Structure 1
Amino acid sequence: MNALLTDPWFYAAAIPAVILVGLSKGGFGGAVGFVGVPLMALVMPPVQAAAILLPILVLMDMVSLWTWRGVFDRLTLATMLPGALAGIGLGWLTAALVTADMVRFIVGAVAIVFVTRWVYQQFRHGSVYAAQPNRIAAAFWGAVAGFTSFVAHVGGPPFQVYALPLRMDPKVLTGTGAIFFAVTNAVKLVPYFALGQFDTTNLTASAVLMPMAPLATLAGAWLVRRMRPEVFYPFTYATVAIIGLKLIWDGVIQMF
């Protein structure tokens, strides 16, 4: 018997993690899903938590792609995905050197700076301010998203650092993110397999948790379709700030 599957603490951490990640995949509060690995890491090594979640993320991506089919921004994808693939490659090359705690701290700090910048822009330009597309910025943040996604499945904040200020329609933003992370998660399967993370224990745990994945994803999509932009954006920025602080706290505590 798999010892992990008989541990009640595994379910206490993993079930809420999968539900929150699913809601995020559906588009409801993108930052909420970033607690997936940190939450599961309370009861298991972060690397194992990331390995268990990855097949579940791929299933959620399939549901999200179907839910948001035909709704996306082509330019954002074209400028961010090449960088994301490079970031995944860098994560693979440095897998033995970079810890998940270091990545949590860095991503958390980026998220807080990002939200602070947004608050400043609201006071200076008002709530209708929208940034212009920038290929260099898109490639850079795509690479950061790919790298942090590979290490700890926390590619959302870097993606949102670039995408949120564009102020796309919430449905377009969600559909664009769905394609972006479907591609990055599918690509991540190769290095995770090569690094030996898909053993029987981890795959069995993934299979047990998978039935919740599509339901949580569809619930997130249902909520997004009913949220107005003036509610969606402040909510998303607020969740980015909360998770950013949580990631910084976790990273500092574990490193020091």
Structure 2
Amino acid sequence: MLELDAGFFALAGPAVLLAGISKAGFGSGAAFASATILALSLQPAMALGIMLPLLMLIDLASLPPYWRQWSWPEAKVLILGGIPGVALGAWLFRQADDDVLRLLIGSIALAFVAWQVAQQKGWLRPNASKMPTAIGLLAGLVTGFTSFVSHAGGPPAAIYLLSQRLSKTGFQGTTVLVFWAINIAKAIPYSFLGMFTVQTAKADLLLVPFALLGTWLGVRAHRFVPELLFFRITHVLLVLTGSKLIWDALT
């Protein structure tokens, strides 16, 4: 039973705000931290079901500021690869129990932080050479899969897009378009899997202001807030929440 009390909103409000800021201003990379945070106190399926409509709202609100500033060739490659990835994620979701999902979400959270740190240290250079379309389709497949099971499609999409040497705003606009399409595709199997309920709908309605405020802040932060500062704060949250989910799954 989902209790829409002060404790829920103390956790969910900042999580949704973070998702809006990340998706609207920083390439969607850390938006999945919201689902990871919610999964600390809710069943993973419920956490994902609450977040998807809010992420779709953030996508919709983020499109106008970046309208036609995306790169369609790269977006098309990721979307075409992402649809089969969504189907693969739906298949896995039917097989897995809550602890497997907690373990998967927690592991993706820690892997995301490791990937970001490796980039910052120069150990990985995804933009060293321009990746071909075939690799882009594979990146799209992984994007669709990880997006379905944890709303964490940002890293594989970023690896491909960074190699294409897009501008900062072109990169941001392309990620907005890609995840707008992939999140629409996810909504269909989410419905069939019973992840949308009356309770999650009530929670979503009450969390809409947090989503819209986060989007507004993210568009403005895109131009003024140092990306490194934003991700360092997010990394701490992801390490803590991801480790806790893994611990809960294993014990």
Q: Does 1:188 align with 2:189?
A: no
What is the deviation of 1:181? 0.5
Select 2:249's aligned residue among 242, 246, 255.
255
Deviations 1:162-184 (A, max 9, x none): 32344422111110110011001
* Cα gap change, 1:4 to 1:109, in 2 (>3 Å): closer
Amino acid in structure 2 at the alignment position of 1:9: G
Which structure 2 segments of 5+ residues have no match?
A: none
Identify the residue that residue 76 of structure 1 maps to in structure 2.
Answer: 74
Distance in 2, matches of 1:254 and 1:142, equals 30
What is the deviation of 1:119? 4.0
Identify the residue that residue 103 of structure 2 maps to in structure 1.
Answer: 102
Identity across aligned pairs (percent)? 27
Distance in 1, matches of 2:139 and 2:35, equals 21
Identify the residue that residue 60 of structure 2 maps to in structure 1.
Answer: 62
Q: Name the SS of the counterpart of 1:71 in structure 2.
A: coil
TM-score (norm 1): 0.84
What is the deviation of 1:241? 5.1
1:218-233 map, 5 Å:
218-226=216-224, 231-232=226-227
* Cα gap change, 1:14 to 1:117, in 2 (>3 Å): closer
The answer as to whether partners of 2:39 and 2:47 remain within 8 angstroms in 1 is yes
Amino acid in structure 2 at the alignment position of 1:34: F
Identify the residue that residue 3 of structure 2 maps to in structure 1.
Answer: 4
Identify the residue that residue 159 of structure 2 maps to in structure 1.
Answer: 161
Q: Name the SS of the counterpart of 1:209 in structure 2.
A: helix
Deviations 1:151-204 (A, max 9, x none): 121112222233234442211111011001100111111111111222211111
Distance in 1, matches of 2:166 and 2:233, equals 18
Q: Name the SS of the counterpart of 1:131 in structure 2.
A: coil
Distance in 2, matches of 1:34 and 1:245, equals 13
Distance in 1, matches of 2:132 and 2:243, equals 32
Identify the residue that residue 33 of structure 1 maps to in structure 2.
Answer: 31
